[in-house]
Chains A and B, each alone.
Chain A
Amino acid sequence: MKHSALQIFRQAWSSHRKWPRTWSSPEPKPAYDVVIVGGGGHGLATAFYLASEHGIRNVAVLEKGWIGGGNTGRNTTIVRSNYLLDGNEPFYEWSLKLWEGLEQSLNYNVMMSQRGVINLFHSDSQRDGFIRRGNAMLMHGADAKLMDRDELEKVLPYLDFDNARFPVLGGLCQPRGGTARHDAVAWGFARAADQLGVDIIQNCEVTGMRIKDGAIEGLDTTRGFIGAGKVGLAVAGNSSRLASMAGLRLPIESHVLQAFVSESIKPLVDTVVTFGAGHFYVSQSDKGGLVFGGDLDGYNSYAQRGNLPTAEHIMESGMAMMPCLGRVRVVRHWGGVMDMTMDGSPIIGLTPVTGLYLNGGWCYGGFKATPGSGWVFAYTLARGEPHQLNAAYRLDRFSTGRIIDEKGMGPQPNLH
């Protein structure tokens, strides 16, 4: 059924009780041409683009829990393409272009809201760095706008502009950046993929890989063996665990990142603001809650919860930037486990095992990549080689020295 205004009107007559299920839940078949492991946004988007762009429809997405229950449902939903390096910016800008047409191509409301993303700066050298990044963005066809203090005072009057340690001198704004509804992204891709014949199989955990003569044959799962011509891993946070089933070690550590939501308040923040120097960023959801977060906890973790020192630090940073937050109560917080790579950039491409492909290493920034990642991963799976847009994200870049270290932090995952 196609979603439309007329359909909403028609369904209202039956009190919205007759909407069909958004996706079917078939029993797994004995084998598929392509099996995607991980039913987050990336896995579902990959399946959708395999079916819609490459005509490969004998595809299954295996999810150990429920779709979107991983980082897709745990992130702070910021969408942007404000990167500096050549390996990154064209990919993220293509992803942002896909976001801009996503609701039409999926026929699903993902609540994409291009409310702008503003990164604050506090010193002359930081401003110079931001100008350079803004110029790189413009040269790659993205949008960027430098805002001075006067302009910022109009949009964000409540900032502590004269903060003694981090006075706000201005910001780099990407007006086309913004937020989207995380769950809707998973559901929209699932529904569209399902309509093209993709099997979405939940409660199906992959527990092992069968590899013969260096090529993948299929997967052992909690719902039995499933044969596969090709396998694509999209299991954010768990990539090392899945890769170890194929005897591979990855340039990845799993780390926890926390997020927080406040009680609903009247409209206050109508953009996304990041205070990188103090480790805090914030936006406001349509329900009115402030959605905010900061940096990693900083130690290896597979626990989907963080520790209090980081929570305290994030609150302190928030208070430093927006003192008016002091009276707002936090109602929920949680953590998500992410693949932190050694250079802070993702890995999308081939592995040493024939037929096994990896999409991982998203660090804390993979939500914005969802459509672009699915798009290039589908291409890579279909053709057996990377697209130009993900060619730099190859796994062997660590052995060839072609790392993509956006922040210049070196091989220390908790600093990226």
Chain B
Amino acid sequence: MRIPCPNCGERGLEEFSYRGDATVTRPTSIEPSSESAWLDYVYLRDNPYGPHWEFWHHISGCRAWFRLKRDTVTHKVLAVALAAGVDGEDHRS
């Protein structure tokens, strides 16, 4: 599996570290009423069989954080975009 960094192009897997699902949204509220939104953000995942939006960090390269849409069965990369500018909107499409 090779990972295409938006800055550096395709590089070996060992240069990157992985953060996980990029579709969950951190709640802005800390009120008790936001409990289920926090549960959703911290713990619950779609864990799809197929395309998955996920965060990667080019830790041994340019150090950029980016989002990758990758098929979890074939490892085929479908889309990539820098993480900067992620606005909390739903990227599950």
Chain A residues whose CB sits within 8 angstroms of the CB of B40 once the complex forms: 249
- Asked if B12 is at the interface (CB within 8 A of a chain A CB), the reply is yes
- Asked if A71 is at the interface (CB within 8 A of a chain B CB), the reply is no
How far is the CB of B79 from the nearest CB of chain A, in Å?
16
- Asked if A278 is at the interface (CB within 8 A of a chain B CB), the reply is no
Taken together as a complex, chains A and B put the C-alpha atoms of A303 and B46 apart, in Å, by 17
Interface size class of chain B, counting residues whose CB lies under 8 Å from the partner chain: 20 to 34
- Asked if A52 is at the interface (CB within 8 A of a chain B CB), the reply is no
- Asked if B34 is at the interface (CB within 8 A of a chain A CB), the reply is no
Whether B45 pairs with A301 at a CB distance below 8 angstroms is no
Contact A251 to B44, CB < 8 A, known contacts A301-B72, A307-B13? yes
- Asked if A381 is at the interface (CB within 8 A of a chain B CB), the reply is no
Question: Could you say which of A300, A303, A399 contacts B47, with CB atoms under 8 Å apart?
Answer: A300
Mark contacts of B34-60 with chain A using CB atoms, 8 A cut-off: 1 yes-contact digit, 0 otherwise. Answer: 011001101111110100101000000
Q: Which of A55-63, A121-129, A212-220, A408-416 contacts B (4 or more CB under 8 A)?
A: A408-416
Taken together as a complex, chains A and B put the C-alpha atoms of A254 and B48 apart, in Å, by 9
How far is the CB of A243 from the nearest CB of chain B, in Å?
9
Taken together as a complex, chains A and B put the C-alpha atoms of A217 and B41 apart, in Å, by 31
A-B pair number, CB within 8 angstroms: 68
Chain B residues whose CB sits within 8 angstroms of the CB of A250 once the complex forms: 44-45, 47
Question: Could you say which of A252, A302, A307 contacts B1, with CB atoms under 8 Å apart?
Answer: A307
Chain A residues whose CB sits within 8 angstroms of the CB of B43 once the complex forms: 251, 342, 398-399, 411
Which chain A residues numbered 263 to 317 have a C-beta less than 8 Å away from chain B? 298-303, 307, 309
How far is the CB of B10 from the nearest CB of chain A, in Å?
14
Which chain B residues numbered 51 to 75 have a C-beta less than 8 Å away from chain A? 52, 54, 70, 72-75
Contact A413 to B73, CB < 8 A, known contacts A240-B47, A249-B45, A309-B13? no
Chain B residues whose CB sits within 8 angstroms of the CB of A254 once the complex forms: 47, 49, 72
How far is the CB of B20 from the nearest CB of chain A, in Å?
7
Whether B12 pairs with A309 at a CB distance below 8 angstroms is yes
Contact A299 to B21, CB < 8 A, known contacts A240-B46, A251-B44? no
Query: Chain B: which residue is nearest A249 at the CB level?
Result: B44
Whether B47 pairs with A253 at a CB distance below 8 angstroms is yes
Most central of B20, B47, B70 by chain A CB within 10 Å: B47
Chain A residues whose CB sits within 8 angstroms of the CB of B35 once the complex forms: 399
Chain B residues whose CB sits within 8 angstroms of the CB of A412 once the complex forms: 20
Taken together as a complex, chains A and B put the C-alpha atoms of A411 and B45 apart, in Å, by 11
